[in-house]
Chain A
Amino acid sequence: KNEVEQSPQNLTAQEGEFITINCSYSVGISALHWLQQHPGGGIVSLFMLSSGKKKHGRLIATINIQEKHSSLHITASHPRDSAVYICAVGDKLIFGTGTRLQVFP
């Protein structure tokens, strides 16, 4: 069993839709990261969370430490949001398998 599970694996949406990506983990952690990997391969950090909720522009990330679950939400999705979204947890920063998001105009 993977230590970090993401769902869904693939997600397609129409521009403007509200997107939710989920991450569940089995290890104890002090922080969880949400990352974005663009088709060109580069990886960018979106959020680092240790509790509660963070918001940056159209992106919102929440974490429930007791339930070992985090969600990434994208409001008013746009084609430029198309990427792979990855959660990473723990001291080793174990990566989830990623969620491939495609937003169509």
Chain B
Amino acid sequence: EPEVTQTPSHQVTQMGQEVILRCVPISNHLYFYWYRQILGQKVEFLVSFYNNEISEKSEIFDDQFSVERPDGSNFTLKIRSTKLEDSAMYFCASILGTGGQGPLHFGNGTRLTVT
């Protein structure tokens, strides 16, 4: 069964550094999402992406964050200048249709640790 893959599985970085988290969604899916989960807290929506542009973003997704689909397969989340509070598990997800239609597929996540 096709799956969403995320790399790296764990990233450690120093405060102020830029990080890029990578995701390869399922190939025929059209909608892509990034979520984060701070340890012990609920999963929070960051951003959704469709047709090569952001369709929605949350308050968390400020100017320090950006997303790209550079080559038609990868879907990246960049944090320009990491802060300690960015430490979390970041999940990528993809879905075939609009309005949340269709099975939702998640990657295994990237654990980001900012020191």
Contact = CB atoms under 8 A, between A and B. Distances in A.
Interface string A29-48: 11111010100011111001
A51 interface: no
Interface size on B, as a range, is 20 to 34
B104 A92 contact: no
A89 interface: yes
B100 A89 contact: yes
Contact of B104 (A42, A45, A96, A98): A45
A93 interface: yes
A48 B101 contact: yes
**Which of B55, B103, B104, B108 is packed against the most chain A CB atoms within 10 Å?**
B104
Nearest to A31: B100
B64 to A, nearest CB: 20
B99 A31 contact: yes
A48 B99 contact: no
A59 to B, nearest CB: 14
Given A43-B91, A43-B106, A44-B106, A95 B42 contact: yes
Interface of A: 29-33, 35, 37, 41-45, 48, 50, 86, 88-98
Interface of B: 33, 35, 37, 42-45, 48, 55-56, 58, 89, 91, 93, 95, 98-106, 108-109
